[in-house]
Amino acid sequence: MWFLGTIACLLLSFLNQFFWYRREPLTITSISAQIAVVPLGHLMAKGITDTVFFKGSKWEFTLNPGPFNVKEHVLITIFANCGAGNPYAILLVSAVKLFYKKKLSFWVALVVVITTQVLGFGWAGMFRRYLVEPAAMWWPQNLVQVSLFRALHDKEERAKNGLTRNQFFLIAFICSFAYYVFPGYLFPMLSSLSWLCWLFPSSVLVQQLGSGLHGLGIGAIGLDWSSISSYLGSPLASPWFATANIAVGYFLIMYVVTPLMYWCNVYKAKNFPIFSDGLFKENGQEYNISAIMDPNFHIDLEKYDHEGRLYLSIFLLLTYGFSFACLTATVVHVLLFHGRDLWHLSKSALQEKKMDVHAKLMSKYRQVPEWWFTIILLTNIAATVFVCEYYKNQLQLPWWGVLLACGLAFFFTLPIGIITATTNQTPGLNIITEYIMGYLYPGYPVANMCFKVYGYISMKQGLIFLQDLKLGHYMKIPPRAMFMAQIVGTLISAFAHLGTAWWLMDAIPNICDRALLPQDSPWTCPADHVFYDASVIWGLIGSQRIFGNLGYYAATNWFFLIGAVAPVFVWLLQKAFPQKQWIRLISVPVLLAGIIKMPPATAVNYNSWIIIAFLSGFVVYRYYKSWWSRHNYVLSGSLDAGLAFMGVLLYLCLGQEHVSLQWWGSHTDTCPLASCPTAKGIMVDGCSIF
């Protein structure tokens, strides 16, 4: 367990961080490791000696404790899960080092990464009796993995003219591995086929409509698994109900609201690209952020007034608006559609504390003492306060900011945990944390990023730990073994992620700098650009000067109200037409939350994802259900794994040696005019003047 778990954690940490900075940042989930370790586990159980060393002494141990079993498999998956998620604090490191080009030492970065990850243990330990032990807190997402564990460990006989799951995984893995050499090296254009631009190479309007990377993406599609699964995860794991809601939300913002506001020139939208994560001056030029900072990494208001107001593309502005709406919509939706059930479930968990069959069986194991979690929590808070005060010139966050962030995380972990555990919907705190700190402490971008990381991610990390604890609850894993697997896996993951990121920052010239990178370089860091933009908007300039009473975009705050009203409208429709079953499937939070990943996600990502999700979740699930139940998740894991290994191999063999191909198919997007402004008199390099 320890060997395979450590290898899985290291491998997933390295691969996910390696792909994170690329244009299509593939995320390899723990499902890949969950499937891949099965043959390895059985092989090791058969091949490793079962000799007992130091027999009869207290140091007695064996390298082979017995046959590979489901409990070992669960613990290995918990290890892998620690490496599957990219630590949010790495974005802070990238923003400071690569975008602001300021000093941040490795050890300070390491402490920030570890404390943000481990702080979640404290919240998990404090609330596990409410969110793990009660039967009412059932964590729907875990049922998928429980089903997969059972499927992988049931005795399987090969059907006549058929394949076992392991054989299917191996064949799909080899196909994925071999195919990725085309979009990954030989034919990169497969990642985004924008055919409208081929037909009209000199039309700005058509390229705005047809570009899959910089426009509305009409007809654009990607024949590359990394392009398909980069931001929304595997489409093979999405139920059709959720896919339909995401598709409606995507169509609404991309093909209704954005074109309407752009061509009506709302907020001078035509001065800027229709789809961009950039920050602009009124004349359409990129905003020079370094010009408004003083030597102490703080905003200089005189220089800001001289440079002028900061502007956003209309799509990025709408993304923030939809994020505002999503926050209030989630709360109202849960109250209206799940309020009564949630009240009874919460009452059951918090008052009656009914012990179900799982809890009775788990009570036979030695429990993790409460003080273990308390020590971790207090040590982390103390370490965070010390680091933020001692290295205040690098992190900027004052001691009261750390305590306020911890207070927000503490306050929201239980209510959001109840919502997640019973409805599988998790409201995000990132916008609220940015908004609060942007008002309380404007002008300090790193402080805003740190506050968001400690206030939002520690809570989210706590929920991930709680979900893993519930998985162990279902699978009857000893709590202390789960605790050790989570702690060790988290620490290994923190070192591996930061080490990989630090290496890439030093090894790849001009990584993330789109102005200096070669035109078709994959190292464009889309997610890091968005995180950096947010730090400028909320942290450096401040909430009040962008979205507040001193800001140009103050009207965007009306989205909070729109988000609160929209679920009420759907609820009234359901009451008025109870016979219309499709109305019950409308989920405003899912509809809104689905598109807030854009940018960095682009139209081609969503187009391809929705098509594959429809084929898997609707067509195959409905008409070939036996095949779907047997091979769907296995196919998803094999596609991830094959692509990942070929991607790393291409970089190590060709990328480091700067061996590249230059031909028509090397260009990932053939729509150079899609980013051009269309307002009269605006001059931008490479674009004609209207």
Distance CA 271, CA 253 (A): 20
SS3 state of residue 214: coil
Given a cut of 90, is residue 258 above it in pLDDT? yes
Q: Considering only residues 140 and 493, tell me which one the structure prediction assigns the higher pLDDT.
A: 493
Given a cut of 80, is residue 177 above it in pLDDT? yes
> Mean of the per-residue pLDDT values for the chain?
84
Burial 36-59 (b: 16+ CB within 10 A, else e): bbbebbeeebeeeeeeeeeeeeee
What pTM was estimated for this model as a whole?
A: 0.82
Provide Rg for the chain, Cα atoms. Answer: 25
Distance CA 598, CA 322 (A): 11
- 589 burial type by CB count under 10 A (0-12 exposed, 13-18 middle, 19+ buried): buried
pLDDT at residue 261, rounded to an integer? 93
Query: In the predicted model, what is the mean pLDDT of residues 180-200?
Result: 88
- Percentage of the chain beyond pLDDT 90 is 21
Q: Report the DSSP beta bridge partners of residue 280.
A: 286, 311
pLDDT grade, residue 126 (50/70/90)? confident
Length of the chain, in residues: 690
Contact in structure between 325 and 560 (CB atoms under 8 Å)? yes
pLDDT grade, residue 425 (50/70/90)? low
Distance CA 99, CA 449 (A): 13
Highest mean pLDDT among 88-92, 145-149, 239-243 belongs to 88-92
Flag the least confident range among 135-149, 364-378, 409-423, 434-448: 135-149
pLDDT at residue 461, rounded to an integer? 87
pLDDT grade, residue 147 (50/70/90)? low
Query: In the predicted model, what is the mean pLDDT of residues 442-457?
Result: 90
pLDDT at residue 103, rounded to an integer? 85
Q: Report the DSSP beta bridge partners of residue 293.
A: 299
> Which are the contacts of 359, defined by CB distance < 8 A and separation ≥ 6?
133, 134, 135, 473
pLDDT grade, residue 436 (50/70/90)? confident
pLDDT at residue 347, rounded to an integer? 60
pLDDT at residue 402, rounded to an integer? 94
Highest mean pLDDT among 126-130, 145-149, 191-195, 260-264 belongs to 260-264
Distance CA 294, CA 298 (A): 6
Dihedral sign, CA of 414, 417, 421, 425? positive
pLDDT at residue 614, rounded to an integer? 92
Query: In the predicted model, what is the mean pLDDT of residues 249-270?
Result: 92
Cis peptide before 479 (omega within 30 of 0): no
pLDDT grade, residue 188 (50/70/90)? confident
pLDDT grade, residue 90 (50/70/90)? very high
Q: At what angle do helices 70-84 and 479-507 cross, to 10 degrees?
A: 40
pLDDT at residue 351, rounded to an integer? 55
**Conformation bin of residue 158: beta by default, left when phi > 0, alpha when psi is -120 to 50:** beta
DSSP classification of residue 618: I
Given a cut of 60, is residue 346 above it in pLDDT? no
pLDDT grade, residue 106 (50/70/90)? very high
Residue carrying structure tokens 């290295």: 391
pLDDT at residue 375, rounded to an integer? 92
Distance CA 595, CA 322 (A): 8
pLDDT at residue 378, rounded to an integer? 93
Query: In the predicted model, what is the mean pLDDT of residues 472-497?
Result: 90
Distance CA 165, CA 151 (A): 9
Burial 557-571 (b: 16+ CB within 10 A, else e): eebbebbbebbeebb
pLDDT grade, residue 256 (50/70/90)? very high
Given a cut of 90, is residue 526 above it in pLDDT? no
Q: Which amino acid is at 443?
A: G
Given a cut of 80, is residue 150 above it in pLDDT? no
pLDDT at residue 498, rounded to an integer? 94
Distance CA 221, CA 629 (A): 27
SS3 state of residue 584: helix
Q: What phi, psi does 264 have (nearest 5°)?
A: -90, 0
pLDDT at residue 257, rounded to an integer? 92
pLDDT at residue 471, rounded to an integer? 86
